[in-house]
Structures are given as C-alpha cells and as structure tokens.
Amino acid sequence: MSEPLRVGIAGLGTVGASVIRLLARQNASLIARTGRKIVVTAVSARDRALDRGFDQTGMTWFTDPVEMARTAPIDLFVELIGGDEGPARDAVEAALAKGKSVVTANKALLAKHGLALAKLAESKHVALAFEASVAGGIPIVKTLREGLAGNQIERVYGILNGTCNYILSRMELEGLSFEACLADAQRLGYAEADPTFDIGGFDTAHKLSILASLAFGTALDAEAVHVEGIQSITLADLRAAEELGYRIKLLGVAQRTDKGLEQRVHPTMVPRSSAIAQVMGVTNAVTIDADAVKELTLVGPGAGGEATASAVVADITDIAKGVRSAPFGLPVAALETAPRTPMQRHEGGYYIRLSVDDRPGAAAAIATRMAEKQISLESIMQRRQPARKGEPAQASVPVVLITHATSESAVRDALEAVVADGYITEKPQVIRIERE
C-alpha cells in the first residue's frame, strides 16, 4: 500500500466537519478505491472548544490557516474558509507555493483569482481542485472537464443558487410575497442576514464564470457576467408566467455566439415542460447543450454539509489516486480570451409587463413604439381586474407583451420611448425568455 495522503483542513464549519466525518465513515471504501489511507492530520479553525462531532485525536490544531498551509507536514490543503481575499487566498497561495495540492469550495476566490492560482499550481506540478465550488453535490465540474471532453458545448445554463430557487418556488406555489419568502428563507438558514449576495445574483455569477471557463476553454472573466437579481419579481409576474406556460427561475446562462461569449444572470422564463422548470425548492440544476449528447441535465442538492462534503471528498479521492487535471480543463496558457458580448446585443424573446394609463391612444402608442424598433409581438394580454363594489375603476391597466426573438437594445430603446410618451404609470418589468 502507498504512503497515506496527509490532509489539512482549514475551516471547520458545517462543510469542514462533514468532510472529516465522511472520510471516517467511508474509510475502508476509500482505501479500496485509492490504494492508500486518507488521514486528516491537521485542522484550523477559530474556536477549538466547539464539539464538531468528530474525534480530533491525531490532528494538529492551528489557529492560523496560513501557518498550517506553510508548515504542517501535509500533502493536501483543503480550504473551506470562504471569501475572495484574506486568510482563504493567503492560505491557498501559501499551500500551492509549498508544492501542496489544494481542494477548495470557494467560488468567490476562484472567480477572482482562479487563473493565477491555476498557473501557480501548474508551476508546482500539483492539483487545484474545486468540484464543490459550483452546485454543491452535483458533479458538474468533472462532467464538463472530463465527462464531456468529446463534445463541443454550445450552451450551459442552470439554477445555481438554492436560496433564490426556494423563494421563487414558495412565491409561485403558495402565493406569498417576495418579502415573506425571503424572511422565511432567513429563518430556515437558507439565506444570510444580509442576503444581497444570493438574491442579487452575485453568487450565481461567480459560479457561472467557472462553468463558462470549463465549458468553452476560455479564461475566467467574472467581470463579463451581466447580473440581475430576483428582487423585482412579483406575484403578478409569476401568475402571468403560469398562464403563458412558463416558470420564472434565476438562471446563469453562458453561451457562445457569433458575437462572442454571452455570460448572464437574470430572472428567466423557461417553458413549464422543460426539465429545469421542474426543479423546485433549494435544489440546483445545470443543463448542458452539446453536439454529441444533445441535452444533458444534472439535478441535485446545491448546498448543505453532506452534499458539499461529497464533492470535496471526490476531489480528495482523485488526488489520493494521483489524478491531476488542468484546473480549467486546459493549461492556463491555452485558455482563450473570449470577446465579451454586451447584454445589449443579446437576442431572444421577452416578457414585458406595463402598467398602462387607461386613456385613449395608450395602446396604439405602445404598439407604434414597438413597431418602430422592429419588435414583433407574439401575444398581448390585458389583465384588468374587475373593480369591487364601492371601489373606483382602475386608473391603469396591467398589459403583458410577449415578443418574438428580438434584441435587448431594441427592447430597451422601445421602452425608453414608451416611458417618455407618458402612458405608463410604473417602471416596466422585463423578463427574458429562454426557450428550449
């Protein structure tokens, strides 16, 4: 049997503790798979006194993860601290510089510094693995990097944030407001006290930038991702989507076009018949469109201690077997710099909801503005609610437009003109449609 793989783990929260317990529980199976023992010999966290549900015997404790990365006699450093700067970055860089392989679940760190870290790993001939950084327990990194190596990928998109999917699911199924669902998500621990990173789409954007690099062989470019969150989605939008045969999901979409690489995160209407529309609650899903396999959808838990630990342990197992893949599928020098495609050049269908002043000429003016920008309308729905007895008639009428394929710039220009005409009483709601 080969020498044991000595592992140091920095960060002993829910995921870190789950990794240690999972390694212990699967000890015999992992030895059979790798031909060697995997032994956690060093750990680092702020509070040593906490009971984390595992035996610390034989583990050297470090209060400073950077010191552990530099000095501990380990072969593999596992970073589960989080954050794109500070101890997480310093410790990972220190471990790689010392010739130690690294496993991380840190999508923010990778989105910002992934190329530099991959280059450092290459120079030291060690592994940098990050299966757990995207979609929790779903093996999407390995699928894109190795499983689909014989495919040309056209598009990768998915539900990459369980908090947003939970909120939208509850709103749709139970008719609750965004605010009520967010508060419930915070109570259940699905959302942070400051939920901006999740509901604003930034968490999804970090993950999407990693998937895009793996899918298209391009250099990571997180700043190229167009980002919108779910804060503006209302029950009226969800009801209209249902009537039209769609569901609203926060999607991350990366697609190579003849204009460059589109990377976008935004609320999206997807056909209710599609696989991704069936994914509800905190579950994640990723769909890949490729030439050989056509369409492949992976669905599973996107977060949680056990699910994320499963992905971390998968990377540890590969390293124990001596597997060392280029982190982003190709050597850093071979990754292309893809042209950025501005969101204004996106083409597709659009859902537009307007609150229209109920007076003569309003509908005709809106139709004229759409026609001026060559926007063809697939359907128009006027959603006037009957006035209750004793209440005045509505001063404005909700109108929903569904467009045929058109450009983002055309839609924005037309709506700017509609607003200037003074016929609408609220900011227009625009949701893109992602058809199968």
Q: What residues are annotated to the active site?
A: 207
Q: Which residues pair with 263 in a beta bridge?
A: 254
Write the single-letter amino acid at 30: L
What lies within 8 Å, CB to CB, of 345 at 6+ separation is 259, 407, 408, 409
Take residue 239 and report the two structure tokens written for it: 């009801």
Take residue 372 and report the two structure tokens written for it: 């001026």
Contact 418, 353 (CB under 8 A): no
| Euclidean distance between CA atoms 324 and 304, whole angstroms | 26
**108-142 per-residue burial string, b: 16 or more CB within 10 A, e: under 16:** bbbbbbbbebbbbbbebebbbbbbbbbbbbbbbbb
| Euclidean distance between CA atoms 424 and 399, whole angstroms | 10
**51-61 per-residue burial string, b: 16 or more CB within 10 A, e: under 16:** ebebeeeebbe
| 3-class secondary structure, 76 | strand
| Euclidean distance between CA atoms 358 and 69, whole angstroms | 67
Helix (H) or strand (E) holding 298: strand 294-301
Cα dihedral 37→43→49→53 (10° resolution): -40
Single out the residue of 19, 10, 3, 25 nearest to residue 305, CA to CA. Answer: 19
- Write the DSSP assignment of 127-139 as a string of letters: -EE-GGGSSTTS-
DSSP secondary-structure letter at 190? S
Q: Where are the beta strands (DSSP E) in 75-146?
A: 76-79, 101-104, 128-129
DSSP secondary-structure letter at 146? I
| Euclidean distance between CA atoms 362 and 354, whole angstroms | 11
Q: Please, how many CA atoms are within 13 Å of residue 149, restricted to the half-sphere of its CB?
A: 9
Write the single-letter amino acid at 247: R
